Chains A and B, each alone.
Chain A
Amino acid sequence: MNEFLQQLINGLSLGAVYALIALGYTMVYGVLRFINFAHGDVFMVGAFSGMYLSRWLKPLLAHWPEWLFAVVVLAGSMAFCGVLGIVIERLAYKPLRERPRLTVLITAIGVSLLLEYSGQLLFGAAPRGFPSLIESRSLSGLGELHATNIQAFVLTATALLLGGLHLIVMRTRMGLAMRALSLNPTAAMLMGVNTNVVISFTFGLGSALAAAGAIFYASLYQAIEPFMGVLPGMKAFVAAVLGGVGSLPGAMVGGLILGVVETLVVGYSKVLGIPPGYRDAVAFVILILILLFKPSGLFGKQQREKV
Chain B
Amino acid sequence: MGSRNSLLLCVLVFAVVSALFTGHPEAAWPLAQIDDYLLNILIMAGINVILAVSLNIVSGHTGQFSLGHAGFMAVGAYGSAAVTQIGGKPILNALSFLGGAAPICMFVLSLLVGGLLAALAGFAVGLPSLRLKGDYLAIVTLGFGEIIRVVIQNTEAVGGARGLTGIPAFTTLGWTWGLAAFCIYCVSALIRSTYGRGFLAVRDDEIAAEAMGVNTTKYKVTAFVVGSFFAGLAGALYAHLIGYITPEGFSFLKSVDVVVMVILGGMGSTLGVTVAAILLTALNELLRQAEQYRMVAFALLLIVLMIARPQGLLGGIDRWLQARRNRS
In the complex, A295 has a CB within 8 A of chain B: yes
Point out the residues of chain B lying under 8 angstroms from A295, CB to CB.
Answer: 131-132
In the complex, A291 has a CB within 8 A of chain B: yes
Question: A110-B306, A114-B300 given as contacts; is B135 within 8 A of A105 (CB)?
Answer: yes
B32 to chain A, nearest CB (A): 38
Whether B134 pairs with A102 at a CB distance below 8 angstroms is yes
Point out the residues of chain B lying under 8 angstroms from A6, CB to CB.
Answer: none
Point out the residues of chain B lying under 8 angstroms from A280, CB to CB.
Answer: 146, 150
Whether B259 pairs with A109 at a CB distance below 8 angstroms is yes
Point out the residues of chain A lying under 8 angstroms from B142, CB to CB.
Answer: 234
Q: What's the Cα separation between A194 and B144 when bound, in Å?
A: 40
Whether A117 pairs with B299 at a CB distance below 8 angstroms is yes
B54 to chain A, nearest CB (A): 19
In the complex, B29 has a CB within 8 A of chain A: no
Whether A292 pairs with B128 at a CB distance below 8 angstroms is yes
Annotate A274-307 by CB proximity to B: 1 below 8 A, 0 otherwise.
0101101101110110011001000000000101
Point out the residues of chain A lying under 8 angstroms from B128, CB to CB.
Answer: 288, 291-292
Q: What's the Cα separation between A137 and B154 when bound, in Å?
A: 35
Point out the residues of chain A lying under 8 angstroms from B296, CB to CB.
Answer: 114, 117-118, 121
Q: What's the Cα separation between A277 and B300 when bound, in Å?
A: 34
Whether B306 pairs with A288 at a CB distance below 8 angstroms is no
B143 to chain A, nearest CB (A): 3
Q: Is the interface of B mostly helix, strand, loop or mixed?
A: helix
- Contacts of B191-247 to chain A: CB distance below 8 A: 207
Q: Is the interface of A mostly helix, strand, loop or mixed?
A: helix
In the complex, B153 has a CB within 8 A of chain A: yes
Partner of B292, one of A121, A284, A285: A121
Whether B143 pairs with A277 at a CB distance below 8 angstroms is no
In the complex, A237 has a CB within 8 A of chain B: yes
Q: What's the Cα separation between A111 and B301 when bound, in Å?
A: 10
In the complex, B169 has a CB within 8 A of chain A: no
B207 to chain A, nearest CB (A): 5
Whether A107 pairs with B302 at a CB distance below 8 angstroms is yes
Whether B150 pairs with A288 at a CB distance below 8 angstroms is no
- Contacts of A160-177 to chain B: CB distance below 8 A: none
Whether B135 pairs with A111 at a CB distance below 8 angstroms is no
Chain B binder among A93-101, A144-152, A195-203, A213-221: A93-101
Point out the residues of chain B lying under 8 angstroms from A275, CB to CB.
Answer: 154
Q: How many residues belonging to B are interface residues under a CB distance threshold of 8 Å?
A: 38
Whether B143 pairs with A113 at a CB distance below 8 angstroms is no
Point out the residues of chain A lying under 8 angstroms from B295, CB to CB.
Answer: 113, 116-117, 120
Point out the residues of chain A lying under 8 angstroms from B256, CB to CB.
Answer: 109, 113
Point out the residues of chain B lying under 8 angstroms from A112, CB to CB.
Answer: 299
Partner of B307, one of A96, A101, A278: A96
Question: A287-B139, A288-B143, A307-B207 given as contacts; is B299 within 8 A of A106 (CB)?
Answer: no
Q: What's the Cα separation between A58 and B295 when bound, in Å?
A: 34
In the complex, A103 has a CB within 8 A of chain B: yes
Q: Which residue of A lies closest to B128 (CB)?
A: A292
Whether B263 pairs with A106 at a CB distance below 8 angstroms is yes
Question: A107-B307, A288-B128 given as contacts; is B136 within 8 A of A34 (CB)?
Answer: no
Point out the residues of chain A lying under 8 angstroms from B139, CB to CB.
Answer: 35, 234, 237, 241, 287
In the complex, A70 has a CB within 8 A of chain B: no
In the complex, B151 has a CB within 8 A of chain A: yes
Question: A101-B135, A107-B306, A280-B150 given as contacts; is B299 within 8 A of A121 (CB)?
Answer: no
Question: A106-B306, A113-B295 given as contacts; is B135 within 8 A of A35 (CB)?
Answer: yes
Point out the residues of chain A lying under 8 angstroms from B132, CB to CB.
Answer: 291, 295
5 A-B contacts, Cβ less than 8 Å apart? A101-B134, A105-B134, A106-B259, A107-B306, A307-B207
Question: B residues within 8 Å of A by Cβ?
Answer: 63, 65, 128, 131-132, 134-136, 138-140, 142-144, 146-147, 150-151, 153-154, 207, 252, 256, 259, 263, 292-293, 295-296, 298-303, 306-307, 310
Question: A residues within 8 Å of B by Cβ?
Answer: 34-35, 92, 95-96, 99-107, 109-114, 116-118, 120-121, 230, 234, 237-238, 241, 275, 277-278, 280-281, 283-285, 287-288, 291-292, 295, 305, 307
